[in-house]
Amino acid sequence: MKAPEKLDGKRFGSMVAVDPCGSDNGVVFMCLCDCGEHFKKKATQIRRDKTLGRNQSCGCTAEWREVKKYNERTCSGCKERLPVSEFNKCPNTSYGLQVYCRSCNKSWREKNSEYLVQLKKDYYSKNKEEMDRKSRKYAKENKERSAGYSLAWRERNPEKRRESANAYVKRNPVKSAAAAARYRSIKAKAVPLWSEKNKVLQFYKTASLLNCWDGPRAVVDHIVPLISDIVCGLHCEQNMQILWNADNIRKGNRWWPDMPEAAQ
């Protein structure tokens, strides 16, 4: 009778039978798959699958081995084999990566931009309350990051920002008028008797002069804010400074020199 073939260290398809590791109605081998996974398999099964011409592995696919071993994947769009860094992550797939590369995704989005915009609008209209609630919660928990996003959008879209502000005033004339009146009232009450109007006016003239050139917009800022939950600054030359609009938005009314620790 012919002795059974020795399997130690031999390759079978996409795996290597490393060495025997136990017995379960026959010898059991510890095997190493090309994807890097270790697993156990009976010697009788290894020989049978070899006889039947089956590609043996831990159960992974050729594409999975491509991702795990070579850190590459074939794009379903352009059919090119690319590094996994060229694919966006997608937890819903078995490989954790999208099937299309970033270049193909970008091309598709550009061709279907109108469809995607309408899709977002439809989703927002159906889930407005829930999305607004999540947005407010995120903004509250991530104030600095949210302020950064808003600032970046304003700098990229100055025209849209003005249109949006004008549209809000038209939609909410009563609220806008009340807010403007409240600010004027607070500003008037914050003007001390000893404030020199000419010096205050000089700040606004300087900011206007700086805005004659292209570039960041200069604004007059109150060092200690006029409107805050815990403080009310004065509208006078000692409490004024000129900032670029981006820095002013980032500062908001959340910080000023010598602010108490409880407010930080």
- In 3D, which of 77, 71, 83 has the Cα closest to residue 106? 77
Q: Is residue 69's pLDDT more than 70?
A: no
Return the pLDDT at 87: 86
Which residue shows structure tokens 């798959």? Answer: 33
Average pLDDT of the chain to the nearest whole number: 81
φ, ψ at 74 (rounded to 5°): -90, 125
pLDDT digits (tens, 9 = 90+) for 181-214: 667 767 777 788 888 888 888 888 888 888 888 8
Q: Is residue 1's pLDDT more than 50?
A: no
Which residue shows structure tokens 């009310």? Answer: 232
Other beta carbons less than 10 A from residue 76's beta carbon: 11
Return the pLDDT at 63: 67
Return the pLDDT at 263: 53
List CB contacts of 140: < 8 A, sequence separation 6 or more: none
Q: How confident is the model at residue 264 (pLDDT cuts 50, 70, 90)?
A: low
pLDDT digits (tens, 9 = 90+) for 116-160: 999 999 999 999 999 999 988 988 888 888 878 888 888 888 888
DSSP designation for 260: -
In percent, the amount of the chain with pLDDT more than 90 equals 11
Q: What is the DSSP string of 11-51?
A: EETTEEEEEEEEESSSEEEEEEETTS-EEEEEHHHHHHHHH
Residue range(s) in the chain whose domain bears CATH number 3.30.60.130: 63-111
Q: How confident is the model at residue 249 (pLDDT cuts 50, 70, 90)?
A: confident
Burial (CB < 10 A; 0-12, 13-18, 19+), residue 247, is middle
Q: Is residue 25's pLDDT more than 70?
A: yes
- Which contacts (CB < 8 Å, 24+ apart) does range 187-191 have? 187/226, 187/235, 190/226, 190/232, 190/233, 190/234, 190/235, 191/234, 191/235, 191/236
Distance CA 62, CA 40 (A): 20
Q: Is residue 2's pLDDT more than 50?
A: no
Distance CA 137, CA 75 (A): 38
Return the pLDDT at 261: 62
Return the pLDDT at 127: 92
Return the pLDDT at 66: 65
* Encoded amino acid at 121, one letter: K
Distance CA 7, CA 3 (A): 12
3.30.60.130, 3.30.420.40, 3.40.50.300, 3.40.50.720: CATH of 63-111: 3.30.60.130
In percent, the amount of the chain with pLDDT more than 70 equals 88
pLDDT, greater one: 171 or 1: 171
Q: Which two tokens mark 64?
A: 């999975």
4-8, 207-211, 258-262: range with lowest mean pLDDT: 258-262
Mean local confidence (pLDDT), 212-229: 82
Q: What is the DSSP string of 181-244?
A: HHHHHHHHHT--TT--HHHHHHHHHHHHHHTTSSSSPEEEEESS-SS-SS-----SGGGEEEEE
List CB contacts of 80: < 8 A, sequence separation 6 or more: 74, 101
Q: Is residue 32's pLDDT more than 50?
A: yes
pLDDT, greater one: 69 or 1: 69
